[in-house]
Copies of this chain bind each other. A is one copy, B any other.
Amino acid sequence: MGLKSFVEVQSDSQFPIENLPYGVFRPTPDSEPRIGVAIGDYVLDISVIASAGLFDGPLLKNSDCFNQSNLNKFLELGRPAWKEARATLQKLLSDTEPILRDDAFLRQKALQPMDNAEMLLPVAVGDYTDFYSNINHATNCGLMFRGSENPIKPNWFCLPIAYHGRASSIVVSGTDIIRPRGQDRPKGNSPPYFGPSRKMDFELEMAAVVGPGNELGKPIDVNEAADHLFGLVLMNDWSARDIQGWECVPLGPFLGKSFGTTISPWIVTLDALEPFVCDGPKQNPPPLPYLAEKASRNYDIELEVFIKPAGQEHSYAVTKSNFKHLYWTISQQLAHHTVNGCNLRPGDLLGSGTMSGPEPGTYGSLLELTWNGTKPLSLGEVTRVFIEDGDEVIFTGCCKGNGYTVGFGKCSGKILPSPY
C-alpha cells in the first residue's frame, strides 16, 4: 500500500502503521487508564485524539467510546465503527497528513514512549470460553491418555469442543503467576496428595475478542460471525496437569486452569490481519449446515514460545507453531457458541485451544513437547519437563507482510513458588 507514518518505525517493528493494535495503558504510574494504539516504539493515546475532535467520521464523532478504561464500549459499536477508527488513525499517523505531524503540542500529549507505558487488560472479560480446536493437540492428548486406537472422540469432528473458563483470573502479560496448590492422586488407589502443583505447564493459544455479541436466544449465523470478531490476542492458558488430571472427570477442567490465564496487551484487529488470511482446513465429515461457511478462513500467524529458566539471562525457543493449524475457524467457534441461544457480550474471549503443529518441535505445551514428562527438554545448561519456580514463559506471534511485520508483542509470565 505504501502507507508510511511520520512516527519513526524500525523495519523490524511489530507495530507499523499497517498494524495499529488496540490496548489500554497508563502513561505514568499514577495516571488513569487510557486507550491507545501501538505505533513503532510509541503508544498513541487515542483519548487525546478523541478529545481533540479528530475522530470526525459519522460513527465516532459524538462517541465517548475512547474515553473509557477499557475497549468494551468501542467493541460494542461493531465493524463499521472499527473500520472508521482505523481509517482515521491511519490517516492521522501517515507522513502526508499534517494535523498531528505538525502539531508539536498535540504530538507530545498523544504519543507516549511505549517503554514508559504500563499495559493493562484491554477489555473487561464477561465470559471466557476455551475451545479445543487444534487437531494435533487433540491427537496428542488422546494418544497420551486414551491410547492409539481412536485418540480423538467422534464428537470432536462434528463440533468445536469447548468449556467455560474462569474470567476473574485473566491477567495481562507480565503478571507473575503463583504456582497453584491442589490435589492429585499419583498412583492407583493411594489417597490423594495435596500440595503445590508438580506439573506446571503452558498452553500456546490465541484468543478472539468478541465485538457486539448477541441477545440471549438469538444465534449468530456462521456467515455473519466475522462481524462479531474484533481481533486476536496471544493467550497462555496456564495448566496444572496433575490437578487437571485428577479433577476433570466428568465435568472438565476447573482448578487446573483457573489460577491464571495470561493474555497479551495488544489486540490485533482482524482488519490488520486481513492480508494474512489463508484457507481453513478441509473438514471431514463436512460440517452441519449451521457450521458450513461460504469461505473458510484461517490466519497465517507465526507463533513461538521461549522459556527463560529461573536465574538465567537467556531465553530458549522451545516451540514454533502457527495459528493456521486451527481446525474449527473462529467464525465456526462463534456460531457454534451461540447456536443454542447463548449470548456473547463485548469483550468476551474465545480461546483457540492449544496451537500445536504436526511435528514434535511444534507442539504447543510441555505436556506434548516432553510427552507427559518422559522426554526432558534441554534449555542451555538445564533441562525441563515442566515449568519450575522462577521460569518465565514468553509467547510471540507475528505475520510477515510485504516489507512489514504485523506483530502481537509478547505474552509472558513468570511462575512464582507457592508461599504455602
A interface, CB within 8 angstroms of B: 126-127, 129, 132, 153-155, 158-159, 161-169, 171, 178, 180-183, 185, 189, 191-192, 194, 216-217, 219, 240, 243, 246-256, 258-260, 285, 288-290, 336-337, 339-345, 348, 420
Contact = CB atoms under 8 A, between A and B. Distances in A.
A208 B163 CA distance: 22
Given A181-B339, A191-B285, A194-B288, A126 B168 contact: yes
Contacts of A240: 340
A216 B169 contact: yes
Contacts of A420: 219
Nearest to A258: B342
Contacts of A166: 127, 164, 342
Query: Top 7 closest A-B pairs, CB basis?
Result: A252-B252, A180-B340, A164-B164, A163-B251, A178-B217, A258-B342, A255-B340
Contacts of A165: 164
Given A167-B126, A169-B342, A344-B168, A161 B251 contact: yes
A258 B191 contact: no
Contact of A340 (B181, B217, B246): B181
Contacts of A256: 340
18 contacts: A127-B168, A155-B247, A161-B250, A161-B254, A162-B254, A164-B165, A168-B343, A168-B345, A169-B216, A178-B341, A180-B341, A182-B339, A194-B290, A248-B252, A249-B250, A250-B252, A256-B340, A259-B340
B169 A343 contact: yes
A420 B339 CA distance: 11
Given A155-B249, A191-B285, A285-B191, A164 B339 contact: no
Given A240-B340, A252-B252, A260 B216 contact: yes
Contacts of A185: 154-155, 158
B183 A159 contact: yes
Contact of A243 (B153, B288, B340, B345): B340
A337 B255 CA distance: 7
Number of copies: 2
A259 to B, nearest CB: 4
A192 B158 contact: yes
A155 to B, nearest CB: 6
B342 A153 contact: no
Contacts of A183: 158-159, 288
Contact of A255 (B252, B288, B336): B336
Given A132-B251, A161-B250, A259-B342, 10 more contacts: A126-B167, A153-B249, A161-B254, A163-B251, A164-B165, A166-B342, A178-B216, A181-B340, A194-B290, A216-B260
A163 B254 contact: yes
Nearest to A240: B340
A127 B167 contact: yes
A177 B24 CA distance: 37
A91 B300 CA distance: 67
Contacts of A247: 155, 159, 161
Contacts of A340: 180-182, 240, 243, 255-256, 258-259
Contacts of A182: 339-340
A251 B253 contact: yes
A344 B166 CA distance: 10
Contacts of A285: 191
